[in-house]
């Protein structure tokens, strides 16, 4: 199947492109390169354009009349920036997605949308299903839920069919090292640990040691980016069974189904890297939560997909990727 991947020059989009190719599908990338990495587009069909550029979309669909689906990864993704620049985030993520969806709904193209587990409200029960209450904590996460809601309305009104995949915490890199995360200003735990490992930062700050978890540190659900990419292939290949005329829209969590605390992750990193990480206990930052992990039943049942790769594998692949690019 030929598939348009928006944001295919980014961390997750480029990994999805590799998984598509490995499964004999053909990715066509549209990416403005606002944050993407041009080298991830090499030897691939690539259009440098904005997702809201209707002329570019017309050209792509005229050049490739056999595109059957869109995997929509393009977005601005930095939470602290979204707090400072909400207009930019609503414009780039929500308004521009609407233009893309309008184009797709006119031509009845299948849509798979990259959403996030950050849409869920934090609760004492840290396991979330697709029906758990929503309560996004940042403008970034609110743009994602706004896009999901628009997509559902488009499906109900215009005959569009779509699946929103809510990712938990992607880690690692393509195991064949074709792409991986950017090392610029990491805000997530693995990026921070890699910075310390490389001697760019001195100590790891644990934000909160009194959370209601088994060791008092916050909990997350880490999923290897290759597992995530493979879930998109399953969603694509079973799309027409999952969403139908009577049920044109679906939401599916993509996580490992297991919570890992900050301390457990730190220990796994030390074991894989062989490094001893200096840590400082500190209080939570504003907006921090105890965290959540996925109930993965819907993904298992609907996609026939289970993540296969461990946290240790994710850490090892990230270290390998870091060495390759630094």
Ligand X SMILES: NC(=O)c1ccc[n+]([C@@H]2O[C@H](COP(=O)([O-])OP(=O)(O)OC[C@H]3O[C@@H](n4cnc5c(N)ncnc54)[C@H](O)[C@@H]3O)[C@@H](O)[C@H]2O)c1
How far apart, in whole angstroms, are the C-alpha atoms of residue 216 and residue 5? 40
22-81 binders of ligand X (CB under 6 A): 30-36, 50-51, 73-77
Q: How far is the CB of 171 from ligand X (least distance, A)?
A: 8
Cβ atoms < 10 Å from Cβ of 307: 24
Q: Is 19 in the site for ligand X (CB under 6 A)?
A: no
Asked if 37 and 59 touch (Cβ cutoff 8 Å), the reply is no
Among 3, 5, 9, 219, binds ligand X (CB under 6 A): 9
Q: Which is nearer to ligand X, 202 or 326 (CB)?
A: 326
How many other CB atoms sit within 10 Å of the CB of residue 184? 7
Residue from 3, 4, 12, 17 touching ligand X (CB under 6 A): that is: 12
Residues in 102-141 at the binding interface with ligand X, rule: CB under 6 A: 114, 116
Q: Judged by CB, which is closer to ligand X: 13, or 248? A: 13
Give the nearer residue to ligand X in terms of CB position, either 67 or 77: 77
Q: Is 13 in the site for ligand X (CB under 6 A)?
A: yes
> Where in 157-186 is the site for ligand X (CB under 6 A)?
167, 170
DSSP 129-167: -TTSPB---SHHHHHHHHHHHHHHHHHHHH---EEEEEE
Catalytic residue annotation: 140
Closest contact distance (angstroms) between CB of 37 and ligand X is 7
Q: How far is the CB of 276 from ligand X (least distance, A)?
A: 27
Within 10 angstroms of residue 129's Cβ, the number of other Cβ atoms is 12
Pairing of strands 110-116, 162-167: parallel
CA distance 164 to 243: 11
Q: E-assigned strands of 32-107? A: 45-48, 67-72
Nearer to ligand X, 150 or 209 (CB): 150
Contact residues: ligand X, CB under 6 A: 6-7, 9-13, 30-36, 50-51, 73-77, 92, 96, 114, 116, 167, 170
């Amino acid at each position: 199947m030929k598939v348009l991947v928006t944001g295919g020059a980014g961390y997750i989009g480029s990994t999805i492109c590799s998984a598509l190719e490995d499964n004999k599908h053909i990715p066509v990338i549209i990416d403005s390169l606002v944050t993407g990495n041009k080298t991830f587009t090499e030897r691939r069909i690539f259009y440098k354009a904005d997702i809201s550029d209707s002329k570019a979309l017309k050209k792509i669909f005229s050049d490739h009349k056999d595109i059957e689906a869109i995997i929509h990864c393009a977005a601005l993704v930095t939470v602290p920036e979204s707090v400072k620049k909400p207009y930019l985030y609503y414009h780039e993520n929500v308004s521009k997605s609407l233009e893309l969806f309008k184009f797709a709904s006119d031509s009845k193209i299948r849509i798979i949308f990259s959403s996030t587990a950050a849409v869920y409200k934090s609760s004492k029960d840290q396991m979330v299903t697709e029906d758990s209450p929503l309560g996004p904590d940042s403008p970034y996460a609110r743009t994602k839920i706004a896009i999901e809601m628009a997509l559902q309305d488009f499906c109900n009104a215009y005959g569009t069919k779509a699946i929103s995949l809510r990712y938990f915490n992607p880690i690692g890199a393509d195991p064949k090292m074709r792409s991986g995360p950017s090392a610029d200003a990491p805000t997530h735990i693995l990026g921070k640990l890699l910075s310390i490992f490389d001697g760019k930062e001195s100590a790891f700050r644990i934000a909160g040691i009194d959370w209601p978890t088994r060791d008092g540190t916050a909990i997350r659900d880490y999923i290897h980016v290759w597992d995530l990419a493979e879930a998109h292939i399953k969603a694509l290949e079973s799309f027409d069974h999952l969403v139908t005329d009577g049920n044109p829209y679906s939401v599916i969590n993509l996580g490992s189904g297991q919570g890992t605390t900050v301390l457990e992750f730190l220990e796994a990193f030390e074991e894989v890297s062989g490094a001893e990480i200096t840590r400082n206990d500190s209080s939570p930052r504003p907006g921090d939560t105890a965290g959540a992990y996925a109930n993965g039943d819907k993904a298992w049942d609907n996609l026939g997909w289970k993540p296969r790769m461990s946290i240790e594998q994710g850490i090892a692949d990230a270290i390998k990727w870091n060495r390759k690019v630094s």
